[in-house]
């Protein structure tokens, strides 16, 4: 039976700390996240904290702090380097935010050989695309970039590209996974199949994509309600997705209140109507088990308000270590995304 063994608040400074990733590198645990005044603000930067024992954490570096909003950092560890990738958003009018007005999106990368001294950030891939999900497999780097050409900044939904790289710095496109994608992560099975969990670019769908090498012919499975920041992982021989659950107001007798849940009872996402959801009444960081016809809710981490964006590391004893952010221990107002958020670490056994 799935259980949470412990949860720790590992970073708070009165700012909005969010969008985590997690790697074990050179004998230490490293967690990166965005540090800013609010969920979207022009001074956002990528911060790294590190620990030897998962208890005491120290802020060790600010690898990316460029002009504009540096956000959603992700890390990849090789034997001799720790890479950090972050999206960079700049605007001709800095007063605008969200989807207001034109903006330029780039992805930048910095790397370190010890986790503390980092190179100057450099751009990777091309303007207009956000390299969001990165990892290693088949002795190379893979990444999932979503976006549009800069001249089509306001076109929705966005395309999702699978990229590959030999060195983590020079990337080339392998294929277009879908023309309706945004945040996405992947895993490669023992048989070599790539599986991708995708937040729909239209904000209405959660999709699983699968392809065999060379990863150009994608099979898409639509699973209903959107799951922001889906992290796809394997544990104990089963596949799970971890992300933000939008707990929704029931819209009728027996209606589901979120992905794969119905009044707390496990239920497949495939059985709900994603086109007419009730209004969002709460947000949680949740774990679902992937089944053939949908996903089944497993458990919620202590969380609320602006939350989720999980990093995952397998512990030596078979459990999962999960980094995430949340506002459940801070006082917020109606616009919760303007208030501070803290970083948490959980040990979960699935």
Q: Cβ atoms within 10 A of the Cβ of 44, count? A: 30
Query: With 90 as the cut, is the pLDDT of residue 71 above it?
Result: yes
User: Which H or E run contains 4?
Assistant: strand 3-11
Q: Where are the beta strands (DSSP E) in 12-114?
A: 16-25, 28-36, 45-51, 58-64, 69-77, 82-90, 104-112
Question: Mean pLDDT over residues 88-96, rounded?
Answer: 74
- 281 to each of 134, 219, 271, how far by Cα in Å? 32, 33, 21
User: d(Cα 4, Cα 191) in Å, to the nearest integer?
Assistant: 30
Q: Is-cis flag, bond preceding 156, omega within 30?
A: no
Reported pTM: 0.93
Query: With 90 as the cut, is the pLDDT of residue 150 above it?
Result: no
Q: What is the pLDDT of residues 134-149, one digit of tens each?
A: 999 999 999 999 999 8
Contact predicate 48/115, CB 8 Å: yes
Q: Please tell me which residue, 83 or 251, carries the higher pLDDT value.
A: 83
Contacts of 256 (CB under 8 A, 6+ apart): 248, 250, 262, 267, 271, 272
Structural domains in the chain plus CATH codes: 3-349 (2.120.10.10)
Q: Please tell me which residue, 161 or 265, carries the higher pLDDT value.
A: 161
Q: What is the pLDDT of residues 199-246, one digit of tens each?
A: 999 999 999 999 999 999 999 999 988 999 999 999 999 999 999 999
User: d(Cα 299, Cα 242) in Å, to the nearest integer?
Assistant: 10
Q: pLDDT category, 338, cuts 50, 70, 90?
A: very high
User: d(Cα 199, Cα 231) in Å, to the nearest integer?
Assistant: 10
From 125, 51, 116, select the one nearest 82 (Cα to Cα): 116
Query: With 60 as the cut, is the pLDDT of residue 263 above it?
Result: no
């Amino acid at each position: 039976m799935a259980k949470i063994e412990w949860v720790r608040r590992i970073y708070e400074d009165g700012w909005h700390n969010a969008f985590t990733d997690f790697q074990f590198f050179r004998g230490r645990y490293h967690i990166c996240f965005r540090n800013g005044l609010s969920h979207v603000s022009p001074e956002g930067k990528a911060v790294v904290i590190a620990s030897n024992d998962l208890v005491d954490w120290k802020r060790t570096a600010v690898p990316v702090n460029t002009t504009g909003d540096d956000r959603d950092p992700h890390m990849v560890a090789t034997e001799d380097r720790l890479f950090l990738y972050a999206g960079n958003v700049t605007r001709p009018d800095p007063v605008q935010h969200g989807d207001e007005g034109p903006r330029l999106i780039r992805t930048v990368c910095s790397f370190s050989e010890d986790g503390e001294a980092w190179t100057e950030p450099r751009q990777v891939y091309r303007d207009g695309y956000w390299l969001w999900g990165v990892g290693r497999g088949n002795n190379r780097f893979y990444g999932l970039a979503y976006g549009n050409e800069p001249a089509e900044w306001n076109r929705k939904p966005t395309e999702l590209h699978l990229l590959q790289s030999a060195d983590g710095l020079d990337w080339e496109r392998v294929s277009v996974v879908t023309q309706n994608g945004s945040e996405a992560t992947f895993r490669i099975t023992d048989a070599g199949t790539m599986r991708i969990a995708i937040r729909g670019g239209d904000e209405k769908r959660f999709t699983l994509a699968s392809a065999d090498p060379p990863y150009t012919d994608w099979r898409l499975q639509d699973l209903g309600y959107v799951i922001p920041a889906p992290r796809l992982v394997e544990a104990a021989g089963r596949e799970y997705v971890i992300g933000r659950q939008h707990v929704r107001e029931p819209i009728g007798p027996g209606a589901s209140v979120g992905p794969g849940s119905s009044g707390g009872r496990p239920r497949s996402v495939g059985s709900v109507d994603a086109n007419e959801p009730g209004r969002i009444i709460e947000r949680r960081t949740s774990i679902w088990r992937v089944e053939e016809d949908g996903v089944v809710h497993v458990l919620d981490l202590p969380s609320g308000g602006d939350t989720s964006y999980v990093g995952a590391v397998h512990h030596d004893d078979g459990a999962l270590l999960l980094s995430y952010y949340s506002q459940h221990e801070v006082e917020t107002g109606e616009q919760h995304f303007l208030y501070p958020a803290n970083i948490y670490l959980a040990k979960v056994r699935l």
